[in-house]
A and B are shown apart, each in its own frame.
Chain A
Amino acid sequence: MTTTLPIDQMIDTTNGMISREIFVSPDYHREELEKLFTRAWLFVGHESQIPNPGDFFVSRMGQESVILCRDMQGKVHVFLNSCRHRGMKVCRYEQGNTSLFVCPYHSWSYTTDGKLQGVPLYRVLYEGQLDRAEWSLIETPRLHVYKSTVWASWDPDAPDFMTYLGDAVDHLDQVLDCRDGRPGGSEVIGVHKWILPSNWKFAAENFLGDTYHNPSHRSVDMIGIGPSARAGQSGRRDNEYNKGQHVWVSFPQGHGVHSVWMPEGFDYQPSYAQYPEVDEYFRHCFHERKTRLGDKARIMPFTGNLFPNVSYHGRQPRGLCVWHPHSPTETEAWRFFLVDADAPAMVKDVLRRFYMRYSGPAGMTEQDDMENWLYATAASSGPIARRYPFNYQQSLGAFKRNDPLPGDVSTQITEQNARNYYDVYARYLKGDGWDSLLGRGDAVRVAAE
């Protein structure tokens, strides 16, 4: 696979300049769908959404509608939601339980493991021609369930998911693990879906480590909407990370995170001021987690983005976001909200209320993000605007490798995560092999020391 697009001219991470073209041009949008979304590991859903045989949840992978389904034997599959005969969606319900997916168009039907079962008038019209075994629903060749989250790739040659995730796993774990450090144990308590008129990469970049955009959230910080705001505290979340070293870490696979490396012997910071029960619960979890995880408990999460389009919030709030491109200037956003499945009802209630007032289109914090992404996209679309690249020179070269955590680590606010992300992005668009996409043998990645 090669490309005719001048990608190296568009993405110059050495000097910190990236063309606006990749945010607005239909050519790049098409190329992303062809070369990036058909290969990268993408988040599809969560096992808590499909606990029983026959359960399904209709999801998306890039532009495609897919069905996440647990078959009658309990195995998890991801299918393209399109009949093999004429392409009609075989499922237009969002979630449910079924033994068959029956296409409304000509009534071909498929079992929950994807096999073509029913073909009306088969004997008369198809006998001897149609081999049903060859016409199952199209299934992702790669699927991996990690701590209840389901990931899939359309590329049969993709590396296994854990290799793809790399050292970013230590940060993703802070999202997926129980608050007391037990592995996994999260559940999805709801999904937001909405349309935003902006390029999907603005959203991904926002979570990747763009802490610099903090001033755009001034209004919520002034009025206070955090878990302790009812007790009069300002800010949009509790100050859980007092005395911690903020770190911005990028990984060779394109992932980037903003976490905090807490000092040795760090202690619990009182939170949820209006809710003693909830504060007590988190205090308990905090100490359990420290005992369980030891030194690794020092990693506390803010946000991150797993290449290419899966973003997360780690604690306040907590969830996964997926940015599905509709066009260069339109994105369908899905947010999956997470809590510990076995958390007390009172804790879940306080969390869900906080999540709703913080997140998504009705969230007081993120509304301002959406405004920024829309007008950044709109104001970059004109031929004059497109002559002038975006500036990505922030903290250029200011990072250390594997210190104090694996990855390229900055201890100051940086655009290194974004520079790294677009390096990897460029390789996908150039059709590079997986060695390159995983950042192996990379000459560009030079530590600043």
Chain B
Amino acid sequence: MSAVVERPRGLAWFQLKQEVEDFLYMEADLLDQRCFREWLDLLADDIVYFMPIRRNVKFGQHAEKENTRQGEGISWFDEDKWTLGKRVEQILTGVHYAEEPLSRVTHMVSNVRLLDVTPSAEDPAEVTVGCRFLVYQNRVEYENYTFIGRRTDTLRRHGDSWLIARREMILEQNVLLAKNLSILF
């Protein structure tokens, strides 16, 4: 991988990790606070937002066949900023009945790790971050969904903040155990 996983880790590395964590928590909070437009502003114009469908495959075939691939065939999500913008726009119509009334959602983000930093922790232009997510959705009265999985984000330096340039979400389910994926991850 990269220089940052090598030890010893310097102060810059820990500062960067803290900064990235703060960014991810702030971002999650925007979604949970239903600040959808503000959330969109955190996405790079060329963002790739990808959630594969996961299949039950034979031992030894996981790397090759377990997940559907970005850029081909059908996944749960394989989209760009325009489509994500449409998702937000749809919620804001007030007649998107799958989110009207709005769901109650909490995004938990944990196990945050810096996987790659370029060019350096001292002067980071792009950071690849791994984390786990637990997204709890409660809807209307009795609907409850828990989405748990792994996420890999690529963050791009943007002034004193970041833009999300890539988000890959690996949901730990095969048959989707929910009627909808009407929330943002």
CB within 8 Å of B: which residues of A?
A: 92-96, 189-198, 216, 218-220, 222-225, 229-230, 332, 337, 352-353, 355-357, 361-362, 364, 367-368, 370-372, 374-375
Contact = CB atoms under 8 A, between A and B. Distances in A.
Contacts of A220: 90
Interface of B: 51, 53, 55-58, 61, 68, 72-79, 82-83, 86-87, 89-90, 93, 95-99, 140, 143, 174-182
A162 to B, nearest CB: 30
B57 A367 contact: no
Given A219-B93, A357-B79, A372-B97, A352 B178 contact: no
B78 A370 contact: no
19 contacts: A93-B57, A194-B176, A195-B176, A195-B177, A223-B86, A223-B89, A352-B74, A353-B78, A355-B74, A356-B76, A357-B79, A361-B176, A361-B178, A367-B99, A367-B181, A368-B96, A370-B179, A371-B179, A374-B143
Nearest to B141: A378
Nearest to B85: A223
Given A190-B68, A220-B90, A196 B97 contact: no
B178 A195 contact: yes
Given A220-B90, A370-B98, A371-B97, A352 B73 contact: yes
Contact of A367 (B74, B79, B175, B182): B182
Given A197-B179, A223-B86, A230-B82, 4 more contacts: A191-B74, A195-B175, A218-B95, A375-B140
Nearest to B61: A96
A274 B178 CA distance: 33
A219 B90 contact: yes
A222 B75 contact: no
Given A194-B175, A195-B179, A367-B182, A362 B58 contact: no
A218 B72 CA distance: 30
B30 to A, nearest CB: 21
Interchain residue pairs A-B with the least CB separation, the first 6: A190-B74, A367-B98, A194-B176, A219-B96, A362-B181, A219-B93
A190 to B, nearest CB: 2
Contacts of B56: 92-94
Contact of B75 (A95, A190, A216, A372): A190
Given A96-B58, A368-B98, A337 B74 contact: yes
A192 B74 contact: yes
A357 B55 contact: no
A220 B75 CA distance: 20
A337 B90 CA distance: 24
A364 B74 contact: no
A223 B79 contact: no
Contacts of A229: 86
A424 B131 CA distance: 53
